[in-house]
Amino acid sequence: MTTTSPTALALDGASIDGGLYTDVTDFARHTHWLNGTAAAYSSVGMGVFVIILLAAWWTARRQGNSVMTAVLATPFAVVIAYAANTGVKDVFEEPRPCRALPHDFLIEACPPVDDYAFPSNHTTVAFAFVVALFFVNRWLGSIALLAAVAMGASRVYVGAHYPHDVGVGAVVGSVVSLLVVLVAFRFCTPLVQRLRAGALRPLLVDRSA
């Protein structure tokens, strides 16, 4: 017999915003022309953030040490945010909406029972990219923000998450990324300065500038 943790019993996602989730999935039911695009972006859209990060690196080669520090800190911010979010998931163990509301429309297949919903990993990672990228370039950060909002919306649209999963995921990713980048500014900028003057100079400095 499987037991449910007290925290899982306390966090009934359907009672928080299950009605809004149903409204979104009903919308998806009637917009089949959008289903394929939303599902594809929800699944592989993280590649967009990698491309934006590469553009940020290319731009930072012409900028100061703090900007390059933010670029190099971004992957660490993303990984740490993901790890922190996974820890939150393990504490609350919120069942996926496809289990609490099994008759709602789904585009993405229902995950295993132990793949919890709260908060959204996709959204956490997306917003971790956003915050770090804003330290590099506001224009690229703005593009990443639009992509992150679209990622969060797509996770509800395909039926994988409740809206509150996405909202809290955005907060977790943003806060963790902000802290990581600020710590990197404080402790790692001198190291980046030395790396830019050493063997990694061709990767970290645009010598044609």
Instruction: Determine phi and psi for 121, rounding to 5 degrees.
Output: -65, -45
How far apart CA 80 and CA 31 sit, in angstroms, is 36
The residues near 126 (Cβ < 8 Å, ≥ 6 apart) are: 46, 49, 144, 147, 148, 151, 152, 170, 173
CATH number at residue 186: 1.20.144.10
The residues near 156 (Cβ < 8 Å, ≥ 6 apart) are: 21, 24, 25, 162, 163, 166
Tokens 């600020």 correspond to 182
Residue 136 near residue 17 (C-beta atoms within 8 A)? no
Q: What angle, 0 to 180 degrees and rounded to 10, lies between the N-to-C axes of helices 32-44 and 138-157?
A: 120
Angle at 15 between CA 10 and CA 19, to 5 degrees: 160
**What pTM does this model have?**
0.87
The Cα diameter of the chain in Å comes to: 67
pLDDT score at 53:
95
Domain count, the chain: 1
In a domain, 164, yes or no: yes
Cα–Cα nearest to 165, from 128, 116, 111: 116
Per-residue pLDDT of the chain (209 residues; tens, 9 = 90+): 444 444 445 567 778 788 899 999 999 999 999 999 999 999 898 999 999 999 999 998 888 888 989 999 999 999 999 999 999 998 888 888 888 888 888 888 888 888 888 899 999 999 999 999 999 999 999 999 999 999 999 999 999 899 999 999 999 999 999 999 999 999 888 988 888 888 888 887 777 65
In a domain, 35, yes or no: yes
Cα radius of gyration (the chain) = 19
How far apart CA 134 and CA 146 sit, in angstroms, is 12
In a domain, 81, yes or no: yes
In a domain, 3, yes or no: no
In a domain, 48, yes or no: yes
Domain range for residue 89?
14-204
pLDDT score at 208:
67
In a domain, 2, yes or no: no
Instruction: Determine phi and psi for 44, rounding to 5 degrees.
Output: -120, 10
pLDDT digits (tens, 9 = 90+) for 2-57: 444 444 455 677 787 888 999 999 999 999 999 999 999 998 989 999 999 999 99
Tokens 């945010």 correspond to 81
In a domain, 5, yes or no: no
In a domain, 209, yes or no: no
Tokens 């990672």 correspond to 125
pLDDT score at 16:
77
Tokens 């009934």 correspond to 12
Residue 204 near residue 56 (C-beta atoms within 8 A)? no
